[in-house]
Structure 1
Amino acid sequence: MKRWLSTFGLLTMIFVLAGFGFHNRRTVEVPESLKVKEPTLVLFPKNKIVSQPNLVVPPFIGSSYIGFKEALAFKESQGNYFITNTLGYLGKYQFGIGTLQLMGVYNATQFLNDPSLQERVFRTNIARNKWILRRDINRFVGKKIKGVEITESGILAAAHLAGAGNVKKYLRSYGAIDVEDAYGTSIGDYIKKFSGYDVSVVLPQRNPKV
């Protein structure tokens, strides 16, 4: 009797263990809303701590219009909306008060403390320079001056630096007439540095206002 009970207990244990080991596996379906179907755009360096206090890394956001304006802003002010440089140029894109007045902005303090206004002014100024330089853009884009291919974004960046009139002189003289800002940056430098961005999203406008 004891032998029979021992055998029955052993068989019962084997049956229970087998049940755990060989049950049918269920497939879990991932909800459609959680499936990753395309690459996710990430702005670098989001939430990144830089160990070197003097090292500032600009965001990498490609060759779009956003990439263009952020790269230009980084060169001008390291992207700081609230900075005024030693020459009195204001904000993220370092506008002079004379340029601001052309677009209907007369209060420098308000401008400096309003990032949204600064962004609108930048785009408006690009549209304005596109209109002024429209013939030169059509004529010179794709050509080379001093070994550098001329692009629309390079022209517009140079106009931001030195004004559309000086860029016209540079292009029409094939680089013989160049100017530098107070820090030694020239039109040719900006044409080269900001080459190849897609700024087609901004259309030329005659005398636009914010």
Structure 2
Amino acid sequence: MYKKISHYFAIPLAICCSLFMALKPSPELDRTLYSTEGMEFDYSMSEEIAMSTESSSIDSEITPHAADHIYVPYLGKSYNGFKEALAFKESRGDYFTVNTLGYLGKYQFGAETLKLIGIYNPNQFLYNPQLQEKAFLANAARNKWILRKDIKRFVGKTVDGIKVTESGILAAAHLAGPGTVKKYLRSNGNYNFSDAYGSSVKHYMKKFSGYDTSFIVAEKRAKAIL
């Protein structure tokens, strides 16, 4: 009988204790124990993995101070590393930007180049990141097919002081078109085209050398299809 009575008191007592502990005011937190005042932190990235913040096709729209604080992931020498490094140089990776010459998106495509890979609505292209990624791959595949003989002939050789790689060739073709890259290689670097912002074929050949672009399959009529 006594056990039964004790059960009736135990449950309300436990509830009361729980409410008391929950509603009991806690002592004020001493925030000085967690202060970082006086500490030094290093947020810099090593030169080996930091992406360059050199001038690009939209440099005129980015203040030098802002550029000092832009960082991107390090993806190594993979295909993703290649396309993201190139995108960072072109637009700081911004899908929705248009430069002063009208080039569009993350990879800074011109309207005429888009037509070659089956895109006829630049406005729709600008606001569709997935289509932009498809366009980059399609354009690279088309350029790789056009330059297939030059890739076979020149990769591994030195032209104008630059060791030629497939990724360097494809990056330069993205900048200036495959025909211009052919002229550069076949003139031993004497025909070194530069765009309106001062980026040259030689610079792209060097900057984007050594990436693994085997993922890109040469295709004569490559199209960007969702």
Q: Give the unaligned 5+ runs of structure 1.
A: 1-43, 46-51
The CA distance in 2 between the partners of 1:131 and 1:200, in whole Å, is 13
* Counterpart in the other structure of 2:181: 167
Please give the TM-score of this superposition, normalised by the length of structure 1: 0.75
Letter in 2 for 1:93: Y
Aligned alpha-carbon RMSD (Å): 1.4
* Counterpart in the other structure of 1:127: 141
Letter in 1 for 2:128: D
Please give the TM-score of this superposition, normalised by the length of structure 2: 0.69
* Counterpart in the other structure of 1:182: 196
Change (3 A) 1:182 1:53: closer
* Counterpart in the other structure of 2:165: 151
The CA distance in 1 between the partners of 2:212 and 2:94, in whole Å, is 23
The CA distance in 2 between the partners of 1:199 and 1:144, in whole Å, is 19
Letter in 2 for 1:196: G
* Counterpart in the other structure of 1:81: 95
User: Runs of 4 or more off by more than 4 Å in structure 1?
Assistant: none
The CA distance in 2 between the partners of 1:143 and 1:118, in whole Å, is 32
Letter in 2 for 1:177: Y
Figure out how many residues of one structure are paired with residues of the other and give that number: 161
Question: How many angstroms does 1:57 deviate by?
Answer: 1.4
Question: How many angstroms does 1:204 deviate by?
Answer: 0.1
Which has the greater radius of gyration?
1
Among 156, 160, 173, the residue aligned to 1:142: 156
* Counterpart in the other structure of 1:208: 222
How is 1:9-88 mapped onto 2 (pairs within 5 angstroms)? 53-54=66-67, 55-88=69-102
Among 93, 111, 114, the residue aligned to 2:107: 93
The CA distance in 2 between the partners of 1:195 and 1:59, in whole Å, is 18
Letter in 2 for 1:87: L
Letter in 2 for 1:147: G
Question: How many angstroms does 1:53 deviate by?
Answer: 3.9
The CA distance in 2 between the partners of 1:185 and 1:59, in whole Å, is 23
